[in-house]
C-alpha cells in the first residue's frame, strides 16, 4: 500500500479550561480552512469558544485519566509527562476537578500537526511535532526520521504510553512505533514495571482502577463497559459479553483485529478467562485494530 500524503497544519495547543490526557489535547489551527481537505472532515467540530479541535495522537494509547468517571494507574503520570514534554509547566487544575486545567505556563505552545483524517468521534488523527519549517498546509509524506521526532514516538520511547496500531496506520509507521515501544518495555521504563496486560484479575472495577492493575487501555475500556453490564445483571464472562455486544442494542465492542499482519480475528477470541483471571493470549504489539 502506498504511503498516504499528510497535511502539515501549524497552530498552537491550548489546555486552559480543557481536559488533556496522555494521548489527546486541544489544537487551534492557524488556518482552519485546511480541515476541509481531510478525510471525514465533516466530523470535525471546532469549539465555538476558541476554535480548538481535539487531537488523537496516532499509534499510541496512554493510560486513561477520565473514561467517564473511571481512571487507570499511571494515567496522571502519563498526562504530566506529555504536558511537560510539550513545554507546559506549572499546570494547575480546577479545585475539586482533577482533570480540568485552570492555568498553565505558558498558556499555549506552537506546534505542527501532520494529519490526513478525522476519526469516528471527530478527533483529528495526528502526528504531533514541534513547529516545522514547511509552509502551512503543505502536503507530503512522513518518513521514519519525522516519525521518530514526533511527540507520539517520544511518549513510546519514554514508556509513558502503549503502542496501539490500527489497520489504517501505514506499515512503516507501525514498524517505527512498535520498535520504540519494544525498547521501552525491554528497559522497563515509565509504565512498564506496572503493566499486567498478559494476565490480570477482574472481579470489580477497583481491580483495574487507579490503585489496581494497569492493563492495555483498550482492554481497560472494554473491561469497564463489561463491569457496568455486570452491575446491571449480566452473568457471563468478558469474552461472552464481547460476543454478545455484536448483536446487542449498544455498540459492537468485540473489536476486529489483525494478528501479526496475517490473521483477522476478534478480540474475544484472544481472551481466556479462568475464574477471576483474564489472559490475553497475544502480545498487544502484534495487533492492529480494524478501524471503521
pLDDT in tens, 211-245: 999 999 999 999 999 999 999 999 999 999 999 99
In a domain, 21, yes or no: yes
- Statement: residue 252 has pLDDT above 90: no
- Taking each helix axis as running N to C, give the angle between helix 238-245 and helix 217-231, from 0 to 180 degrees, rounded to the nearest 10: 90
In a domain, 32, yes or no: yes
| Prediction pTM value | 0.95
| Domain carrying residue 278 | 196-289
Does residue 25 share a domain with residue 167? yes
**Final residue before a domain boundary, out of 136, 157, 187:** 187
Contact 24, 56 (CB under 8 A): yes
Does residue 175 share a domain with residue 48? yes
Specify the pLDDT at position 249. 62
Amino acid at each position: 500500500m502506498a504511503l498516504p500524503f499528510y497535511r502539515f497544519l501549524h497552530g498552537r495547543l491550548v489546555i486552559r479550561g480543557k481536559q488533556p490526557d496522555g494521548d489527546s489535547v486541544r489544537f487551534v489551527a492557524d488556518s482552519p480552512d485546511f480541515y476541509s481537505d481531510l478525510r471525514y472532515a465533516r466530523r470535525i467540530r471546532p469549539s465555538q469558544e476558541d476554535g480548538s479541535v481535539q487531537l488523537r495522537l496516532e499509534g499510541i494509547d496512554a493510560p486513561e485519566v477520565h473514561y467517564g468517571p473511571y481512571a487507570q494507574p499511571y494515567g496522571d503520570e502519563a498526562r504530566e509527562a506529555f504536558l511537560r514534554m510539550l513545554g507546559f509547566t506549572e499546570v494547575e487544575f480546577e479545585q475539586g476537578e482533577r482533570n480540568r486545567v485552570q492555568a498553565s505556563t505558558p498558556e499555549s505552545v506552537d506546534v505542527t500537526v501532520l494529519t490526513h483524517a478525522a476519526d469516528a468521534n471527530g478527533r483529528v488523527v495526528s502526528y504531533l511535532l514541534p513547529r516545522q519549517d514547511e509552509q502551512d498546509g503543505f502536503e507530503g509524506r512522513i518518513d521514519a526520521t519525522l516519525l521518530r521526532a514526533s511527540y507520539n514516538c517520544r511518549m513510546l520511547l519514554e514508556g509513558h504510553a502503549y503502542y496501539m496500531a490500527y489497520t489504517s496506520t501505514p506499515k512503516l509507521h507501525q514498524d517505527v512505533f512498535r520498535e520504540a515501544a519494544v525498547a521501552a518495555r525491554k528497559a522497563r521504563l515509565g509504565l512498564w514495571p506496572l503493566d499486567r496486560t498478559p494476565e490480570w484479575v477482574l472481579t470489580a472495577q477497583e481491580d483495574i482502577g487507579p490503585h489496581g492493575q494497569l492493563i492495555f487501555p483498550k482492554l481497560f475500556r472494554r473491561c469497564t463497559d463489561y463491569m457496568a453490564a455486570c452491575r446491571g445483571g449480566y452473568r457471563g464472562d468478558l469474552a461472552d459479553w464481547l460476543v454478545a455486544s455484536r448483536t446487542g442494542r449498544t455498540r459492537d465492542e468485540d473489536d476486529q483485529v489483525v494478528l501479526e499482519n496475517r490473521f483477522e480475528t476478534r478480540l474475544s477470541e484472544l481472551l481466556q478467562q479462568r475464574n477471576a483471571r483474564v489472559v490475553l493470549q497475544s502480545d498487544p504489539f502484534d495487533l492492529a485494530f480494524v478501524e471503521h
